[in-house]
Amino acid sequence: MPHVGPLSENSKQLSDLLKVGLVNRPNDPALVSMEGVWSWSDLDSAANRLSANYLALGLEPGDRVASLMPNRTALFVHYIACYKACLVLTPLNYRYTAPEIDHALDVSDAKIILAHAERAADVAGSKAGELPLGIVWYGGEDGRTPSFDALVKAEPQTGALPAIDSEAPAAIFFTSGSTGPAKGVTHTRASLSHIFESAAQSFELTPNDVVLPGSSCTHIGGFSFAMAALLAGARVVVARSFDHEEIGPLLRTTRPTLLSMLPTALLHLIREHDMTTADFSSLRLIRSAGDKVSAELEKEFAALAKKTVREGYGMTEFGLAALNPPGGADKLGSIGLPAPGFEFSIRNDDWNELPADEQGRLWVKTPTQSAGYWNDEKASAEVIRDGWFDTGDEMKVDGDGYNWFCGRRKQIIVHDGSNISPQEVEEALLEHAAVELAGVVGVIDEAHGESVRAYVEIKVDAESPKMGELIQFAKARVGYKAPEEIVMIEKMPLNPTGKVDRTSLKKFAAADHAHHV
């Protein structure tokens, strides 16, 4: 039988996002950053002006509004304005190059883009200037028009906003593109509302919480974490970057109660010499997702912060799907229990449901599910079966209903008929005192199908171990799954969301294979 998270009582709409804060604490801070503070009332008023002025530019409900912005409080004003004007917010990864910008603009058929002035060179090299309504610039004092600041400050000529259709598109988020060109995941106003409500319940958010999303709010993880906080009337701390020079001072000055970071960024944070136990003392929950939380990260974080990292799981297509619950048991290594409103079913290749402790493919059914991929019916149909979404992830569930991530189906290494998860091997290598980051991929092997190759980045100032030593170190922990070879690299490639980029590592391996053929 499918195992189910408690149903979300979704009664709120995107138009009510700020309602709890506005009713209870209109003059208290809603958004806080190193740059300044927005009260609930100021945030709502600014978003009202911006929404009306967006429509005055010639935008109409349903038009896609792209953004190329880093984490800034202005980005949240922009998002809320799009909700109010019934525009389809279309965030682009801030690391996108000109060709990637063009791909996203082409797929979404955006009418306009909000862009930070520091990305002017890449924007100029893209098709952004050819959009029907051009570019709205944020930052810089070079006279570019229209400017974001002007649109936020100007009193609109009309206050009329369009009627709301809960099934209308509200957002397009682009996938990481790890298995092909990035697809535009389309969320409706209803599915976004469900995502925010489910996340707010998962994190047990209250108006007394202070939430720090330590990752980009152009991706569904940071975005939904922050929006769930606003929905609950909690204060959001906006980090402009995700290194210790930004996160450290924010932890000390804003005293957040919840922190969410990618595993790689969190590992770098706690390894900085000036971070102390006191820096983490205000936190009641530290959540990490987006990639596997290694045992080494859990160990180092517990030693410094005297707390555990609660692992979770989610996808762009449906938001946060599982979490080790704040008020329940935290099973280290597990992604936790299904989130409110989620049904999980683990099945074999014949689509038969599997019993507890048997590994299979995870299928999900949830009201948070996206409406599909923008203008790509074929890709949408490929991941849906009888209302269930195919995650493509290998998973198993234990007798308590906790789920255990076993790897991406497309990244599983098949060695002599055995399935090997790259994450498990990476975790073993990360336990070595000299290893900073590890990435594991399969390489072509005529005798064994695939052999296991690990790419390793050594910590600064650490003595580099010999390859044989590392292999034996891993073998003592994962046995036959240990890598046959290890390649030391100066800098581990990361994908646009900050995860170890196994796609690039596969390309390295393929190029090396071709060279030796």
Torsion of CA 507, 510, 516, 517, to 10 degrees: -150
Cβ-based neighbours of 309, under 8 Å, separated by 6 or more: 266, 286, 287, 288, 293, 297, 298, 301
Q: Return the CATH fold of 13-396.
A: Rossmann fold (3.40.50)
Cβ-based neighbours of 255, under 8 Å, separated by 6 or more: 210, 282
Residues facing 319 on adjacent strands: 315
Walk along the chain (517 residues) and give the pLDDT tens digit of each residue: 455 666 666 556 888 899 999 999 999 999 999 989 999 999 999 999 999 999 999 999 999 999 999 999 999 999 999 999 999 999 998 988 898 899 999 999 999 999 999 999 999 999 999 999 999 999 875 566 789 999 999 999 876 778 888 889 999 999 865 455 789 999 999 999 999 999 999 999 999 999 999 999 999 999 999 999 999 999 999 999 999 999 999 999 999 999 999 888 898 899 888 999 999 999 999 998 776 788 888 999 999 999 999 999 999 999 999 999 998 899 988 999 999 999 999 999 899 999 999 999 999 999 999 999 999 999 899 999 999 999 988 899 999 999 998 877 777 786 765 668 788 899 899 999 999 999 999 887 755 667 899 999 999 889 999 999 999 999 998 887 899 999 999 999 987 667 788 888 888 887 765 444 4
Q: What is the 3-state secondary structure (H, E, C) of 228-257?
A: HHHHCCCEEECCCCCCHHHHHHHHHHHCCC
Q: State residue 6's pLDDT score.
A: 66
Helix (H) or strand (E) holding 50: helix 40-56
Which runs of E-coded beta strand occur in 112-203? 112-116, 135-138, 169-174, 184-188
Q: State residue 32's pLDDT score.
A: 97
Mark 393-422 as b/e (b = at least 16 C-beta within 10 Å): bbbbbeeeebbbbbbbbebbbebeeeebbb
Domain ranges of the chain: 13-396, 412-516
* CB neighbours of residue 316 within 10 Å: 21
Say if residues 16 and 117 touch (Cβ distance below 8 Å): no
Mark 175-190 as b/e (b = at least 16 C-beta within 10 Å): bbebeeebbbbbbbbb
DSSP tag of 350:
T
Strand arrangement, sheet containing 36-39: 36-39, 29-33, 235-237, 210-213, 258-261, 285-288, 310-315, 319-323, 337-338
Both structure tokens of 57 = 């530019």
Cβ-based neighbours of 517, under 8 Å, separated by 6 or more: none
Tell me the C-alpha distance between 359 and 180, whole Å. Answer: 26
Identical fold at 13-396 and 412-516?
no
Residue 83 has phi, psi (to 5 degrees) of -60, -45
DSSP tag of 353:
B
Residue 3 has phi, psi (to 5 degrees) of -100, 140
Tell me the C-alpha distance between 203 and 411, whole Å. Answer: 30
Architecture, CATH, for domain 412-516: 2-Layer Sandwich (3.30)
Q: State residue 261's pLDDT score.
A: 93
Helix (H) or strand (E) holding 390: strand 388-397
Q: Which position has the token pair 């900050």?
A: 498
Pure H helices in 62-169: 73-85, 98-108, 120-124, 148-153
Mark 299-310 as b/e (b = at least 16 C-beta within 10 Å): ebbeebbebebb
